[in-house]
Structure 1
């Protein structure tokens, strides 16, 4: 694209500098836009690679130097052209002044009207053929010329009929010109409207005089139309300035939003950084479509907005640099877990290996990915190794399930039996039936939940209806709960979590006891203190809880050991 613009500029330099000035300015703007786009892209790449925006340097390319040299050449040609034009305009001014002087002399002739008119026509032709003068002299010299022509016609005794004909024709031409001026009101392109006004005003000055009795009227009409057209142009430019002011306020609001966004990033995580990046890019898009502002503010607010955006991306770069360090440590740990999982995946020690893999899975969960792009790939490898073992374990126990059909029949009979029990059934009978249920062995996995849910629901219902001590009832129901866990599909996991919960509870109670013991130390010299008694009671209560928890932990440990033994047997 730059090469194409350089070629166009070289072509324009072969033409007159005054004629192509606007085209050259247009090419300059287009080239500047291209250069700015390349500059912004290069600077962003520099920042993305770790550089700081303020340290970025962008050397000019050979094409840029070529284009600048052509512009310098054009500037010299333009200056030479303007100097030449100024010299020619000065000569033309002298010629036109001489023509006006000759016309004034003609108005003094009265004896040879025909020769005077002929000479006037020659001078008018010479006036038209004479080149232009400087713009600040044009109006003055043109008015002087028009006045000289009018003086000639009014002061010279010419044929009345010819004079009336010319005056009438001039009136018609000026009336038609006023109509053309009115039509400018419907022209949407302001530049075109300004060009037409200049053309029509020149034509007005070149048209001769009109009848004296109609001069004031047509002059007022002409002035009124001009005022109306100029009012339209003024309104247009006022609207542009108003729009620029609105654009300024809009862009100032974008700056405030960008500032708020940057301020809100303190302590932000990856998700928020990614969301904020989308927002900052959206603000940049809004800025590009927000239009130009007032000339005195345009560069200033752009520099401020660009600085805020640069600051945001510098902060983002720093954040992701620190995140990459964390990702590296996390990846190392997870690769180690993958190696361990892959080493276990072909094992047939179902119990031990299952526990080992579950520990690895728990360790994996302690280190979330937090947006690391490598996380899905690593997790897929880890899950593949785990699934290989657990799928093999499942297939193994599905074949084992076939040997549990007889146990299922026994438990179906026991389930039917417990459904005949009522609240009048003795506790010994219930305990015996529960023992018989546990001794009946395992059933196929697909029936395990259905059978256990139905049996223990009925067992809980019968215990609830019995009038027994609350403590004993709680112990029985807890034991039923543990037996129910032991019969569930994920028995080992459920019991292990229960054991962990009880240990945590036991640790908390031991901490409470130590705290109360420490507090008692403050009252060792205050025998009989109410507070001392209160702490002693609390310690006793906590110790009672500890004994209760120990009983529960023993029950859970017993069931876990049964499962471990059963797994070894079926392995």
Structure 2
């Protein structure tokens, strides 16, 4: 339920009740005047009255000037203009949302409502159009173009909006034209009815069928509105003819009494219906029906004079009971709207940080989007707001909401631009892969393909619509090469087996030197370089030969009696670095190893500085001396470790350079 609309609709009821109250007074005055004019005619018209009453079967009614003055003349267009939908803040709508809205308006059967909303959103949509044109002009001038040569073509969305807007305006024009044509037709109908009434009034017959006269009155009542310029004159002529009809006939008083009795019955029925409305569950429907009862009560016509005031007080009392419910309902609605205002003001504050959110990660944008959409759900779950404050709160919330999504859109546009650049880079890799896919330099080309694959992974994503196709091209080139390479596996396997034998032979020689406790370090380094220069071995033997090699190297180093621990450590580090250099991703592994040693050096230096600082706080005592010895021992060990780490770092630099 639109609570603001309910309040407005319910409060509008006061006007109807005031109209009926005043109508009642006018009707009483009119009835008293007619009563006085016709009281002298009652006796002379007695016989005629009986005859006419028999003819009309109790169906005659008096149509008072005051009760009929506006009957049938209220333009349905004015009624339509009084009904308004919930106010919507269109200032935050996107171009696509405006197009979808105006498409739905173009199909709406309520032509007036559609045209009213279209007029409201047209300036907002034009602002977007002009903004796009201005941005395009700026880009055109920035690119070196002359402003007078600029020719801007609007997109399909703009074309669709303008077409639907014109359709709505055309439908509105047709609607107005049809109403005017109908009013002209109604004018002719009422003029024809007036001519028939004149024939009745000017007729010399005194017992002419009263039913025919009443039928003309009903026919008049059923005719719709006429052009405003003729309305007042038509009503004046109509009421003058009605008065003349009654004044010229001696049966007027009797017929008036019969008519008033029928009116009394009708108004009593309306009172009973009004009294039941106080128990109606749906207050909105009760108010709507009470408005209809007031309208009907006003147009029924006069009742016997002695019944007028009591009857009106009864009807008014039933109305007042509904008004009391309405007042309570309106107060409750206003209270709820104030509570809603507090909640929505809090939610508007809650979304403010989203306007300044920024990140270079898609996951963080998506997470933040989920958060703000959750807040939006809470917002939409809250009811309406007081009309006077709704615009400010809505603007604060939806303005921030729009800013966030504009920022998100800008981020993804920037991301799309980066992905376009990534696409160009990956296309270059595809071209390179196609160039070398038929090479028979197996090892070099395989290494090149591996390098291309690493570079491919480092480039980053490409636009989604090209992701599969560009990867497929790259993979087909790589598969083509490696399929050919695998076809040479038999020869390669033989080469690997030969490499394994050569490495085992080197391991045997190093082991023999260890057994003989040889100190020929130069020969050991030559064997070590020869081992590292040998290519791949069968996959199943990789782990085994690596273990054997490490074992014999350690055995040789440990067996060299004339070798210091520092030299042993250096040889071990050189051996480790050489193994890293001979493996895949050597540069990255060496870099990580170097960084790890630097980190460890920083930690040891920090510990030494801390312990030395602590020594200064110990006083001379037996306990203090013991603690000093412990700290000095720690510092000595740390210095040795630091010396070892720096030696490792020097070796890594020397070997890797």
- State TM-score, norm by structure 2: 0.47
Aligned to 1:471: 566
Q: Does 1:29 align with 2:113?
A: yes
Choose from 104, 124, 133 the match for 2:257. Answer: 124
Aligned to 1:64: 168
- Displacement of 1:471 in angstroms is 2.3
**Residue aligned with 1:369, SS:** coil
1:263 shift after superposition: 1.9
Aligned to 1:493, what secondary structure does the other structure show? Answer: coil
**Could you report, residue by residue, the CA deviation over 1:459-483 in whole angstroms, capped at 9, with x for unpaired residues?**
6997999998542442454355457
CA separation of 1:348/1:67 partners in 2, compared to 1, >3 Å: closer, same or farther?
same
Which residues in structure 2 correspond to 1:177-256 (within 5 Å)? Answer: 177-178=271-272, 181-188=275-282, 189-195=285-291, 198=294, 206=303, 225-245=318-338, 248=341, 252=345, 255-256=348-349
Deviation at 1:281, TM superposition (A): 7.5
Residue among 74, 77, 80 paired with 1:18: 74
Partner of 2:194: none
* Residue pair 1:502, 1:549 contacting (<8 A) in 2 also: no
Distance in 2 (alpha carbons) for counterparts of 1:501 and 1:283: 45
Q: Give the secondary structure class of the aligned counterpart of 2:583.
A: helix
With over 3 angstroms needed to count, the CA separation of the structure-2 counterparts of 1:193 and 1:413, relative to structure 1, is farther
One of 543, 548, 555 as aligned partner of 1:455: 548
TM-score, normalised to structure 1, is 0.52
Q: Structure 1: give runs of 5+ residues left out of the alignment.
A: 1-15, 103-115, 131-145, 147-169, 509-540, 558-571
Q: 1:166 aligns to what?
A: none
Counterpart residue number, 1:106: none
Alpha-carbon offset, residue 124 of structure 1: 3.1
The equivalent residue for 2:68 is: none
Question: 2 CA distance for matches of 1:500 and 1:332?
Answer: 30
Query: How much has 1:552 moved relative to structure 2?
Result: 5.4
Contact 1:259 1:308 in 2 (8 A): yes
How far off its partner does 1:254 sit? 5.8
- Residue ranges of structure 2 left out of the alignment (5+ in a row): 1-71, 82-109, 137-151, 184-223, 600-640
Equivalent residue in structure 1 for 2:431, among 339, 345, 348: 339
1:346 aligned counterpart, secondary structure: coil
Q: 1:98 to 1:72 in 2, by over 3 A?
A: same
User: 1:254-291, CA deviations, whole angstroms, 9 ceiling, x for partnerless residues?
Assistant: 654554322224x6555555666677778778877866
| 1:339 CA drift (Å) | 1.9
Query: CA separation of 1:91/1:83 partners in 2, compared to 1, >3 Å: closer, same or farther?
Result: same
Deviations 1:528-568 (A, max 9, x none): xxxxxxxxxxxxx99998886675577679xxxxxxxxxxx
Map residues 94-113 of structure 1 onto 2, 5 A cutoff. Answer: none
Q: What is the CA distance between 1:294 and its match in structure 2?
A: 3.5
Alignment partner of 2:461: what SS? coil
Give the Å deviation of 1:181. 1.2
The alpha-carbon deviation at position 393 of structure 1 amounts to 4.0
Q: Which has the higher contact order (CA 8 A, sep 6+)?
A: 2
Task: Decide whether the 8 Å contact of 1:258 with 1:280 is kept in 2.
Answer: yes
1:185 and 1:232 in contact (8 A); partners too? no
Counterpart-to-counterpart distance in 2, 1:259 and 1:39 = 27
CA shift at 1:230, angstroms?
Answer: 1.8
Q: When the two structures are aligned, how many residues end up with a matched partner?
A: 438
- Deviations 1:382-420 (Å, cap 9, x if unpaired)? 44434544454455446522565588799999999x9xx
